[in-house]
Amino acid sequence: MKRLYENALIYGRLFTVDRPHLVERYNQALGAFRLPATSLESFDIDRTGFSPQVARELDDFDYLDPAGINRRFIILTPAQASLPVVHTRFSNTGGLMHEFYTANARAIHALTIKDVIYGEIEDNVSAIEDIEDLLSIEQVEFKVLSAENVLAKAAELRTLVDRLKSEPDAWRDDAMLEHMVELARTTGDIRSNRMVPDQVVFRHSAFWTSHFGGTYVFVDDKMTTVISDPRAPGFRRSRPWQVSYLDKNDHARVFRFLSRSGRIELPSAAWLEGSGFLDHRIDMTLKGLMHRINPAADLATADPVMMQTFLARNAGPIRADGVYPFLNAARRELSRTGRIDIRDVPDALRFQLVRGKPDHPDVWLTNRLISEYVPADFITRYVFNKQGFYDDYEGWADGWRAFVVETLKSAYLSDKPALRARLFGLP
């Protein structure tokens, strides 16, 4: 993972905490969670306050997610709103945090001037033991606290201000007035600074979770669909009247669900020709084959002549693998007729030709699921399913790791929006 870290492919774009008062505030939040204080003088945090350096120090990468549910958060600065989330058990943690920051921007700005905000993203489930526990999560509530108790003091001061306005003789209560002054020393002027978050309850919709080997939950008007390992406890037994269960290894049924629910863009010249999507998949597949068949090959110097030579010398194993010949045939068919009939494509290969529908709310989750079925496309895997990419990376040889890192740097990190827009139709 060192190479990924050095090239900003893991734990990139984080906020560096190196000012003593911010380190102290972070330790106050850790103490409130009954965790040891960090001895680090500088560390990085993501949108939720998770720090990879603190995690290594504590030898616990789940220190903000101890039960895999009811995620904890630590907010030192409003600047965290624009950071990524780099470690989570649920794919929508980042989205929920973004909604919280957006809905309560003024309060977060005012509070973090004087204090650290911390708490939990709570729901009605305390542990994930089976599928039913996942289905029970319909909304979450941010339980918000602050180390210096600014939130409670602001609420108390607001009550006393209202009393002062509504009770004719309240201004004669010297003790109350002195207490208000004391509270204001901590909270500041609450008339201009909104100190209490307004919105703390948010809808919990479609998501992926790492539980049970990776589970996807898609929510539609009349049906919820769970895509998981069929060995997961509760699979096909929890709420069968309102939940459809799909074995994630059943390519045909998973594809049919995504297609019928309007979550994928089927192959057509309208988007395939201008995006370079097929060429991208062909290149990823060919490079993967070259490494698999000849691990010593220097892919960094691969040119068209080298690739043609490889194809000629390895026609047998390439034909046996099947993916490269299929994609080449699909490209020819698209060029000749302007269309590809997905019904003629074998179930296991259909995901090679589709992407998440760009205007669907679940597009990122859909592309994450698609990446499970196109493992050779490590760029798609990295963009939409970083944890899956990191798991793959752990099992790769060093030479392949180096090639993948250099490819991601040149093809993705150099201009992320451009690649997302071209290949996936996303901003």
The H or E element that residue 92 is part of is none
Cβ atoms of residues 313 and 369 within 8 Å:
no
Cβ atoms of residues 66 and 89 within 8 Å:
no
Cβ atoms of residues 131 and 226 within 8 Å:
yes
The dihedrals phi and psi of 222, each to the nearest 5 degrees, come to -110, -5
As a dihedral over the C-alpha atoms of residue 36, residue 40, residue 44, residue 47, rounded to 10 degrees, the angle is 20
- Which of the pair, 195 or 231, is modelled with greater confidence? 231
Report pLDDT for 126. 86
- Rg (Cα) of the chain, in Å, rounded? 26
Q: What is the pLDDT of residues 341-384, one digit of tens each?
A: 999 999 989 999 999 999 999 999 999 999 999 999 999 999 99
- Mean pLDDT across the chain, nearest whole number? 91
Under DSSP, the state recorded for 215 is: E
Average pLDDT value for residue range 65-91: 94
d(CA 155, CA 178): 16
d(CA 94, CA 81): 9
CB atoms closer than 10 angstroms to residue 53: 16
Q: Which residue shows structure tokens 């002062």? A: 164
d(CA 161, CA 155): 10
User: Taking 60 as the threshold, does the pLDDT of residue 29 lie above it?
Assistant: yes
Report pLDDT for 192. 53
Cβ atoms of residues 371 and 377 within 8 Å:
yes
Average pLDDT value for residue range 409-413: 93
Average pLDDT value for residue range 272-299: 91
Report pLDDT for 198. 67
Q: Quick check: pTM over 0.85?
A: yes
Q: What is the pLDDT of residues 7-24, one digit of tens each?
A: 989 998 899 999 999 999
- pLDDT band of 190, cuts 50, 70, 90: low
- pLDDT band of 184, cuts 50, 70, 90: confident
Q: What is the pLDDT of residues 301-326, one digit of tens each?
A: 888 888 888 999 999 999 999 999 99
Q: What is the pLDDT of residues 105-152, one digit of tens each?
A: 988 998 898 889 999 999 888 889 999 999 999 889 898 888 777 767
CB proximity list for 388: less than 8 A, separation 6 or greater: 368, 371, 372, 381
CA atoms within 13 A on the CB side of 40: 21
Torsion region of 215: left, alpha or beta (phi above 0 gives left; psi -120 to 50 gives alpha): beta
Cβ atoms of residues 25 and 116 within 8 Å:
yes
Q: What is the pLDDT of residues 197-206, one digit of tens each?
A: 767 788 888 9
State the distance between the two ends of the chain, measured CA to CA, in whole angstroms. 28
Nearest to 100 by CA among 46, 48, 150, 149: 48
CB atoms closer than 10 angstroms to residue 206: 19
Q: State the burial class of residue 392 (Cβ atoms within 10 Å of its Cβ: 0-12, 13-18, 19+).
A: middle
User: What are the start-end ranges of the H helices in 338-373?
Assistant: 363-371
- Position 152, amino acid: A
User: What are the start-end ranges of the H helices in 50-201?
Assistant: 52-58, 93-103, 105-114, 131-135, 150-166, 174-187
d(CA 53, CA 40): 8
User: Taking 60 as the threshold, does the pLDDT of residue 247 lie above it?
Assistant: yes
- pLDDT band of 392, cuts 50, 70, 90: very high
Under DSSP, the state recorded for 410 is: I
Report pLDDT for 123. 87
Q: What is the pLDDT of residues 144-183, one digit of tens each?
A: 888 777 767 776 777 777 677 777 777 788 887 887 787 7
CB atoms closer than 10 angstroms to residue 138: 11
Average pLDDT value for residue range 38-43: 98
Average pLDDT value for residue range 287-297: 89
Nearest to 157 by CA among 195, 119, 113: 195
**Percent of the chain whose predicted confidence (pLDDT) is above 70:** 96
* Residue count (the chain): 427
